[in-house]
Amino acid sequence: MRYRVLGRTGVQVSTLALGAMNFGRIGRTSQEDVESIVGSALDAGINLIDTADAYSGGESEELTGKALGTRRDDVILATKATLPMGDERNHRGSSRRWLITALEGSLRRLGVDHIDLYQMHRWDPNTSDEETLSALTDLQQAGKIRYFGSSTFPAYRIVQAQWAARDRRISRYVTEQPNYSILQRGVESHVLPVTEEYGLGVLAWSPLASGWLSGAVREGQEITTSRSTFMRPRFDLTVPANRAKLDAVEQLAKIADDAGLTMIQLALGFVTAHRAVTAALIGPRTLEHLDSQLAAADVDLPTEVLDTIDEIVPPGTDLAPAEKNDTPPALLDSTLRRR
């Protein structure tokens, strides 16, 4: 396993990090499954685990906390807030009121007294940067979180938050967690240059593009997925974006074969090759999934392989931009762009 410094924090993290979204009912994983995955990941050298309060309604945090047990101090533990936790209108977002409550819930479910990296799961357009950052700074000074970061923020919001922290002389986001894979390269044109400019650590989520780059999705094969109903449209081949992804996958599979690599090694090696990326988040549901992804831990893709990937999916290109979850709200809601 290789390690990189997380932004400017001085904290060293493994280039593959364990994402816990599939822990619990989303991935149909039991406590025993999670303990096996977490234990094997830590034994392999992974030292960052990323979860969120919204994953299976808090179940992921509960399972992760129990699985860590006495190894808590060996792990950079990351979780998130802002996505809805139930139907109550104020049990979401990035207000001071909710973040204090949400953090206490995460600490309780994880069974810990502090979070190493507390991330805003999405930008909240209803809350000012000053409100959110001042609340996070207070929680940091209280010793309940060590650092805080953003996730899936548009580039201009990352910049705005950095300026707000500077102007108010309060703590700033030290990481960003964007959607980044061979099939979704849009962040290369805006987000990653900004993270480099401000020295942010980058934890890339969905480096296997929701399974498209796992090797299990190929032309002529029935696409079977255990994903939720929400994810099924992403595999519907009547959707032009999905057809484009499959065409790219077929070409990428040949590159992997010629290089003596699995598709997973190609995909993860691509993400960790970018100089702005600190770690790629893997999200195994089984030990077999974990083992196949750990095989990419030390992969260095040759320049000629990276150049060929660029020919298939040009730099800065998203094959399915609607899946990025970073679209400015005014493009999705007409009431936000009309008087």
How confident is the model at residue 247, as a pLDDT?
95
Nearest to 268, CA basis, from 285, 280, 256: 280
**Among all chains, which residue has been given the structure tokens 């932004």?**
7
How confident is the model at residue 276, as a pLDDT?
97
- Do residues 177 and 148 touch, judged by C-beta distance below 8 A? no
DSSP annotation of 209 reads G
**Among all chains, which residue has been given the structure tokens 């990323």?**
50
How confident is the model at residue 338, as a pLDDT?
80
* Distance, CA of 195 to CA of 145 (rounded, Å): 21
Q: Is the pLDDT of residue 231 over 70?
A: no
Burial per residue of 118-147, b for 16 or more beta-carbon CB atoms within 10 angstroms, e otherwise: bbbbbbbeebebebbbbbbbbbbeeebbbb
Q: Is the pLDDT of residue 99 over 80?
A: yes
Least-confidence region, from 4-13, 167-176, 205-214, 226-235: 226-235
Q: Is 3 a catalytic residue?
A: no
How confident is the model at residue 226, as a pLDDT?
52
Task: Answer with the residue of higher pLDDT: 327 or 318.
Answer: 318
How confident is the model at residue 310, as a pLDDT?
97
Nearest to 168, CA basis, from 226, 207, 129, 116: 129
- What is the average pLDDT across 8-28? 97
Nearest to 2, CA basis, from 18, 15, 11: 15
- What does the chain come to in residues? 339
- What is the average pLDDT across 57-65? 98
User: pLDDT for 236-263, tens place per residue?
Assistant: 877 888 999 999 999 999 999 999 999 9
How confident is the model at residue 257, as a pLDDT?
97
Q: Is the pLDDT of residue 294 over 70?
A: yes
User: pLDDT for 108-146, tens place per residue?
Assistant: 999 999 999 999 999 999 999 999 999 999 999 999 999
Nearest to 116, CA basis, from 124, 106, 131, 102: 106
Which residues does 33 contact at the CB level (< 8 Å), separation at least 6? 285, 286
How confident is the model at residue 324, as a pLDDT?
74
**Token pair of 150, please?**
């953003």
Q: Is the pLDDT of residue 225 over 80?
A: no
How confident is the model at residue 334, as a pLDDT?
81
Band the pLDDT of 329: cuts 50, 70, 90. Answer: confident
Task: Answer with the residue of higher pLDDT: 170 or 334.
Answer: 170
Average pLDDT, the chain: 94
Looking at 3, 55, 180, 198, which residue is catalytic? 55
* Distance, CA of 147 to CA of 166 (rounded, Å): 16
Q: Is the pLDDT of residue 197 over 60?
A: yes
The domains found in the chain, sorted by start residue, are: 3-336 (3.20.20.100)
* Distance, CA of 83 to CA of 92 (rounded, Å): 5
Whole-number Cα distances in Å, 50 to 16, 62, 141: 11, 13, 22
* Distance, CA of 73 to CA of 116 (rounded, Å): 10
Least-confidence region, from 41-45, 232-236, 305-309: 232-236
* Distance, CA of 65 to CA of 42 (rounded, Å): 14
Task: Answer with the residue of higher pLDDT: 236 or 301.
Answer: 301
Q: Is the pLDDT of residue 330 over 90?
A: no
**Among all chains, which residue has been given the structure tokens 């320049």?**
303
